[in-house]
Structure 1
Amino acid sequence: MNFIIWLIIFCEVAFWVVILLGLVTRYILKQKTLGLIFLALTPVIDLLLLITTAVDLMNGATAETPHAIAAVYISVSLVFGKSMINWTDDRFRYYVMKQGSKPYKPVGLAYSKNYGKNWLKHLLSYVIGTGILHFIIYLINNKSRTEAMNGVIHVWTIVIIVDLIICISYFIWPPKNKTHHN
């Protein structure tokens, strides 16, 4: 398997490992500063992936789908990283530490608004990610070496449009609370 594929897998696993280490250190070991240091490592992981991917491409590698997925991963991590950490933190505190209130799960119009907010984040990550991909295409300036980048841009464009349609549908038909009262 390609080195970049392994690096992406490593970075995704490392992202969740440092979050888990941060939460365990913060709540179970009661070391808030050390826990914060672990949580602060998440952007370092993204930087490692970005630098390694850039060096690989600048050294003449043909851009493959994993190179493009690295840009997607980085942009999604940048935009959603803090909210993913907060989501995990809330659930760790409630389900593992048995502290605080049950994490809020919106329904109806609140769910639709939350989905809309997340769609806007998806749009921002799309702009950042496709911007990175277009920049790489520009730097390499060789269509045969960057074909996979364009392929990922096209697929992601379809995904963001489908996600927008889903988002709009939630405003037309907001999800109802699944609990039934007899």
Structure 2
Amino acid sequence: MILLAIIACEVGFWVAIIAGLLVRYVARKPRLGAALLIAAPVIDVVLLILVATDLIGGATASWHHGLAALYIGISVAYGHRMIAWADRAFAVRFRGASPRPRVTGWAYTRKCWIDVLRTLLAAVIAAGIILGLTLVVDAPARTEELQGFLPVLGLIVAIDLLWAVSYTLWPKKAPTPTPVRG
């Protein structure tokens, strides 16, 4: 049940964003578009309520509950950036804005390190949700699986850290321009 709620919330998140941007750029109603965009974080609150209600109601925690905590953490840490990315894409498509050039070299490396901080924030939020749910439910036998999800959060941060280190040692090179033949 919680897995379906996670999927529904993920779909709802993107539907809210796309609907908000379509209304903003295609229907040219920026206020209504902004209202729809505000629905995206509300969806995270709905998911948190569903997870807490499920566990308080007597369900035994599964990896789905940990995944919900991770989803909320990522949504909070990366949500604004994901919305900004989609907004730029819509501005390019519907308003003729210039696309941003691809980031390479040390600028890309810097972006990777900022992502490490965002990923760490997502993991801390997810861990806080997991620990909060564990305390609220107050049934160690039913929340044991949640505690087992904490090392997964550490692994995710470690992978992102390795990614940033790799681009620190070997920065992403700018594409070489292809010669014009004439």
Shorter-chain TM band:
over 0.9
What secondary structure does 2:61 align onto?
Answer: coil
Q: What are the equivalent positions in structure 2 for 1:3-152 lying under 5 Å apart?
A: 3-94=1-92, 96-152=93-149
Which 4+ stretches in 1 moved above 6 angstroms?
none
Cα distance between partner residues in 1 of 2:107 and 2:94: 27
TM-score where L is the length of structure 1: 0.93
Alignment partner, residue 167 of structure 2: 170
Q: How many residue pairs were aligned?
A: 179
Cα distance between partner residues in 1 of 2:30 and 2:177: 41
What secondary structure does 1:146 align onto?
Answer: helix
Q: Is the 8 A contact 2:21 2:33 kept in 1?
A: yes
Q: Which runs of no fewer than 5 residues in structure 2 stay unpaired?
A: none
Cα distance between partner residues in 2 of 1:175 and 1:44: 37
How big is each residue's C-alpha offset from its partner over 1:91-133, in whole Å with a ceiling of 9 and x where there is no partner?
1111x21521112321010000011111101111111111111
Q: Are 1:179 and 2:176 matched, yes or no?
A: yes
Q: Is the 8 A contact 2:51 2:65 kept in 1?
A: yes
TM-score where L is the length of structure 2: 0.93
How big is each residue's C-alpha offset from its partner over 1:66-94, in whole Å with a ceiling of 9 and x where there is no partner?
11111111111111111100001101111
Cα distance between partner residues in 2 of 1:162 and 1:135: 25
Tell me the CA shift for residue 43 of structure 1: 1.2
Cα distance between partner residues in 1 of 2:175 and 2:145: 42
Counting aligned pairs with the same residue, the percent is 37
How big is each residue's C-alpha offset from its partner over 1:8-50, in whole Å with a ceiling of 9 and x where there is no partner?
0000000000101001100000011100000000111111101
Cα distance between partner residues in 2 of 1:179 and 1:126: 37
